[in-house]
Amino acid sequence: MKFENIKIENFRNFEKIDLDLSNKNIFFGLNDVGKTNFLYALRYVFDKDVRRLNLLDSDFHNKNFVKPIEITVTLDISDTACTDCQKLRAQLKGALLSEHEKVYIRLKAEYDRHEMLALPILYWGGDLEHLQEMKQRGYLYELDYVFNVIYIDSYVDLHALFKKNVNALVKNESEDDKDILNRIQGTVDSLNTHIASLSGIKDFEEKIAPEYKKFRNEGVTVSIKSEIAVKGLYSNIIPYIKQDGDDNLYPTAGEGRKKLLAYSIYDLLSGENAEKKINLFLIEEPENHLHKSMQIALSQILFTDSKYTYLFVSTHSPFVLYEMDNVNLIRIYSERKIKSASTFYKVPGNFEKSRKMLNRSLSEAIFADKVLLVEGPSEQLLFEKILATVKPFYEADGIYILSAGGIGFEAYFAILDALKIHNVLKTDNDLRLDKKTGTYSVLGFSRCNKYIGEKILPVKRVSENTVEAKRKLYDDNKKTLDEVRDKYYIYLSKSDLENDLDEVLHDVLVKYLGDDPVEYLQDAKHYRMVELIEQLSNADCRKIYNHYNFACLKEVAE
Amino acid sequence: MSLSPIQEKIIEIPGNLIVRASAGTGKTHTMVNKIAKEIDDNHSHKVVAAITFTIKAAQEIKDRLSVDVIHHFIGTNNSFVIEEIIKPFMKDVYGSDFGLDMSTDYSEKVQTYQEGVEKIKTEGVLCSYQDNKKNFIFDLAQEIVEKSAACKLYLQAKYSKIYIDEYQDCDKSMHKFFMYLCDELKIDTFVVGDEKQSIYIWRGAYPEAFKGIWNKPNFERRFMGDNFRSCPQIQNYSNLLCEETRELYEATENLDSIVWLTPTTTNWAAEVVSQIDDGKKTALLRFSNDNARIGADELTAAGIEHIYIPQIPIADITTDTAWLYSAIAKYIIIEKYSAYDLISEIPVEGNESRKMVSAIKKFLNDIALSKDDEQAFCSNTNDLAGYLGYVTRPDHLAKLYRTVSEESFHVAFEPDKYQHVAITFHSSKGLEFDQVVVFAGDYRLSDMASIYNHYVSVTRAKSKLVIVKLNDYNANCFQTNLSRLFSESGVNIGDVVSFQ
């Protein structure tokens, strides 16, 4: 079974949204753009406990009661050997005919002015034009016999969760247990006898009854008992953690531990159901209370454990995405109205080995609104310094500088484009020697053409490889290159970072770095860039920021 | 109730299994236990179907199963194919015109398959063939399941096992259908039955089907022969009737349990009365309703009151609404039958939440209050039917009114209340009595159908069987054929019964 699509209309902050889904989905975006509401849309369809709350006036987008709320989920069930598809078929019955390979599940709710609420009605079937109303028994729909929603809030209350499910989790049903339970009862009785014989307890019991009788004179006595005797065995058991090689018990007090234990409990609970039903995991901001390393561990589990086949996670944390693969990235963002964009992300084949590196930079970048893609750490260092000076809050404004670690930009901008994250690319005007002819191919130009997907810039080889030659090449094609900047947000260096910088601030660089600053910088790029930026003044930064050579900064910052 | 070793075995055997279960061997008990165990052991999403021939038998299985059965199918064979195959998937094979609401009325007859299909298209009515040995509903279901990929996938996705009770009553179409599910769709099948109890050959039942499965290589087979109901002598008598049980015969010394009377048409009742114990449950089993009624009168006149349990007028209604007529009659006639009982009989389909208990109580109250006014009664009944989404017909309402207004029919609703009854042996199926009185002339024993009828009648008896042999042609045939049957085992009639 595969999740394909969701359409949400007139629900909370979504006027109309149409989004491709996959089986693992990550929702991200700024606060208040509707990530939680997105999960709510799914929960209204699949979670009986949410659905039975009905929909209120505030659930209608801008309180538009003229239109119904409609949420439609599309599932692909063409794989007849898949047991999850079979679970659905077994309930769909004649709503699914031989030619159908997809199931549409729709929730529709019309506002009732007298009742001041909207009752959700569910439909499903293989023919979108003729969906069948789902049969209902009490507040359960046929759908509820197929799906089991495991919703994990960002603040899980471990003890409440354990208490609520203790009967499902702890089953003392063997023959021996009967005996042991009887013995426990005996122990509890004698515990209470002991408690009752304590002098302090007796004293208290004797004193309290007359006090009580002052308020109300009735034939009562007060006695002190252990809670276990009154509320039963299960009222009194709670999980503790014992470390290997240490006999002490530690309460599960730390929020991080509580959270991990809670996840483990959800694991067990979902296992109980997995063969009968389809478990859908809806997880809200799992990163809360977890240390970075735990978030990364969680990321590993979420993206590799087969238990989480159907996963919908909202997050603000790049660490949760470190292990992402075969996942649908869904960005919810706001322009005039709430929009969304999504893309399926599979770690590209040529990145299998450097997957972590790709994922790490990418997981940071997708939380931004604008991304400046640069080749290496020198650019990153310099540009961060400049932006920090000119636009001190650039990060808060959603600007992120991503170093591609070379020129493998495609893996990044393909995802960023698909997520409609504005990205600006800064790359060098490289030339490369062709040994056979002794001429130089215009590597930087070809790269631009490749990214644009069209041969806009000439690719005729040049005979010389000098800074001057590069600058000449640039100047000869400046009109086109300016168009490339405006239209495609690709900013080619006139030559390279150091020479372009030298053009802007030659005198200053000489003062800071000696007579040949370009050579000095290029000698140990990363290290010397650190040395330089420590010395750059605010005025220097502004000058760079305003210069043609570094207009890419203005492009992302303004 | 505990299980015998063979019953235990049957419960444990996985996969396809056929059980031949002689009368009184605890067939339903075993099947119910097997279903309960297999539901309990099942950890997948799949459910089971328990298929019976009568609504009453389905209800009995539901009542006896203590596990939650809400998602499982427990119902009659016709309702199984109508609800699971025809209604949902006919449109998949015949086109969207057949996505319409359908009702059943087997009193509507057609000659050909094509006419039957046409009737569904134009009237939305599922009917039956003129020829009562052919089965339109199952022929249609067969066509659909073979042609609809969605239907096949649905059945395979949903059912882990199908349990079919009283398999000897299946006709050829049913047999073909069930074997298709088993052999082609690979759905595990459990079949229980006994060709000796095949009393519906006259309407197409095909006991050969049962024997056919018995020889299928993909089925395990077990025989349950331990009759827990009848005493050894009656077991001997019944086992000698059929080839496959003859070897179970074990001579008994005491022959008091089966009495052979040769009275005249005028003194038979007095002779029977002299043989039976007034303090024990007794049944006179006859072929025809008339003879059962007359027999009851004569036995009563001879000193032991027998109540004739008649065929009630609503019994032959075959529309979807049939259950409702029966439930309304029970509500009026049976003291303890409440609105909740009626609600529990509502067939599983549909949105139950719509049906408010309080509203149904009000409708039923109105119906009960109007039982002396036919017009108001029918109109109130019609209102309840409408509320529940069912359609009534004037002639059916009239039958219901007759059923509730004529007191002589009321006994049919609580036959267990009466110590001595007279009924047809067709309606005695599944019942048991301490003492049973049969007439030799009702069974010529010249064909298997007649032998099976006789087998069913005599195995109703626990401790005493009285055979009344008058001096007429049929009775003489009976005697001749019985001697012949017994002689196959080298036994004389006198070795098994005591002549008076």
* Closest CA in chain A for residue B86: A94
A73-92 average pLDDT score: 95
Nearest to B44 among A80, A135, A275 (CB): A275
Encoded tokens for B237: 């008598």
In angstroms, the CA B108 to CA B124 distance is: 12
pLDDT score of A491 more than 90: yes
B257 pLDDT band, cuts 50/70/90, is: very high
For the stretch A275-302, pLDDT in tens is 889 999 999 999 888 888 888 888 888 8
The whole-number pLDDT of residue B80 equals 95
* Closest CA in chain A for residue B159: A90
pLDDT score of B167 more than 90: yes
A276 reaches B (C-beta below 8 A):
yes
A90 reaches B (C-beta below 8 A):
yes
pLDDT score of A186 more than 60: yes
Assessment of whether the complete model's pTM goes beyond 0.90 = no
A389 pLDDT band, cuts 50/70/90, is: very high
Q: Where are the extended beta strands (E) located within B359-432?
A: 420-424
pLDDT higher for B196 or A157?
Answer: B196
The whole-number pLDDT of residue B298 equals 96
Contact indicator for B71, A145 with CB cutoff of 8 Å: yes
The whole-chain average pLDDT of chain A stands at 89
Quick one: angle between helices A525-535 and A497-513, nearest 10? 60
B254 reaches A (C-beta below 8 A):
no
pLDDT score of A202 more than 70: yes
From the list B422, B447, B450, the residue with the least C-alpha distance to B436 is B422
Beta bridge partners of A17: A8
pLDDT score of A361 more than 90: no
Mean pLDDT is lowest, of A238-252, A258-272, B194-208, for A238-252
The contacts of residue A233 (CB under 8 Å, 6+ apart) are A181, A184
In angstroms, the CA A316 to CA A294 distance is: 15
What is the DSSP-derived secondary structure letter of residue A252? Answer: S
pLDDT higher for A255 or B31?
Answer: B31
Which residues in chain A are closer than 8 Å to B156, comparing Cβ atoms? Answer: 86
Beta bridge partners of B125: B103
B150 reaches A (C-beta below 8 A):
yes
Interface test with B, best of A1, A78, A88, A89 (most B CBs within 10 A): A89
- For A148, phi then psi, to 5°, come to -125, 115
Q: How do beta strands B258-261 and B498-499 pair?
A: parallel
In angstroms, the CA B405 to CA B365 distance is: 16
B1 pLDDT band, cuts 50/70/90, is: low
CB contact under 8 A, B45 and A93: no
In angstroms, the CA B228 to CA A275 distance is: 40
In angstroms, the CA A85 to CA A2 distance is: 9
The whole-number pLDDT of residue A530 equals 94
For the stretch A301-348, pLDDT in tens is 888 888 899 999 999 899 998 888 888 999 888 776 767 776 777 777
Kindly state the percentage of chain A with pLDDT values over 90.
Answer: 54
The whole-number pLDDT of residue B198 equals 84
B350 pLDDT band, cuts 50/70/90, is: very low
CB contact under 8 A, B149 and A98: yes
* Closest CA in chain A for residue B150: A98
pLDDT score of B354 more than 60: no
From the list B492, B327, B314, the residue with the least C-alpha distance to B396 is B314
pLDDT score of A352 more than 80: no
A100 reaches B (C-beta below 8 A):
yes
A102 reaches B (C-beta below 8 A):
no
The whole-number pLDDT of residue B2 equals 81
pLDDT score of B290 more than 70: yes
Interface test with B, best of A84, A85, A93 (most B CBs within 10 A): A93
B117-128 average pLDDT score: 94
pLDDT score of B311 more than 50: yes
Q: Tell me how close the Cα of A140 comes to any Cα of chain B, in angstroms.
A: 10
Mean pLDDT is lowest, of A103-117, A170-184, A433-447, B234-248, for A170-184
For the stretch B55-79, pLDDT in tens is 888 888 888 887 777 789 998 999 9
Q: Please tell me the total number of residues recorded for chain A in this structure.
A: 558
A228 CB-side CA count, 13 A: 16
Nearest to A275 among B45, B89, B150 (CB): B45
Contact indicator for B306, B296 with CB cutoff of 8 Å: yes
A245 reaches B (C-beta below 8 A):
no
B351 pLDDT band, cuts 50/70/90, is: very low
CB contact under 8 A, B92 and A97: yes
In angstroms, the CA A553 to CA A491 distance is: 10
pLDDT higher for A236 or A139?
Answer: A139
Which residues in chain A are closer than 8 Å to B351, comparing Cβ atoms? Answer: 135-137
Distances (CA, A) of A458 to A275, A446, A453, A490, A500: 62, 8, 14, 16, 22
In angstroms, the CA A166 to CA A9 distance is: 39
Contact indicator for A105, A47 with CB cutoff of 8 Å: no
CA angle B293, B295, B300 (to 5 degrees): 100
A139-154 average pLDDT score: 91
- In the chain, the amino acid numbered A419 is L
In angstroms, the CA A23 to CA A327 distance is: 7
Contact indicator for B212, B175 with CB cutoff of 8 Å: yes
The whole-number pLDDT of residue A349 equals 67
- Global ipTM: 0.80
